[in-house]
Amino acid sequence: MTLPKIVSSEEWRAAREELLVKEKAATRARDALNAERRGLPMVEIDKEYVFEGGDGKAALLDLFEGRHQLVVYHFMFAPEWDAGCRSCSAFLDQIGHLAHLRARGTEFAAVSRAPYTKILPFKARMGWTVPWYSSYDSDFNYDFRVSVEVDDEPCERPGVSCFLRDRDRVFHTYSTYERGLDGLGSTTTLLDLTALGRQEEWEMPRGRASAVGAPAGSERIRYHDEYEE
Q: What does the alpha-carbon distance between residue 212 and residue 70 come to, in Å, rounded to a whole number?
A: 13
Please report the pLDDT score of residue 30 as a whole number.
95
Q: Is the pLDDT of residue 91 over 60?
A: yes
Q: Which residues lie below 8 Å from residue 73, measured CB to CB, with a gap of 6+? A: 88, 91, 92, 95, 108, 109, 110, 111, 158, 159, 160
The band of 118, judged by pLDDT with boundaries at 50, 70 and 90, is very high
User: What average pLDDT score do residues 92-100 get?
Assistant: 92
- The rounded percent of the chain whose pLDDT value lies above 70 is 93
How does pLDDT run across 180-225, given as a tens digit for each residue?
Answer: 999 998 888 999 999 999 888 778 777 666 655 555 556 667 877 7
Q: Is the pLDDT of residue 143 over 70?
A: yes
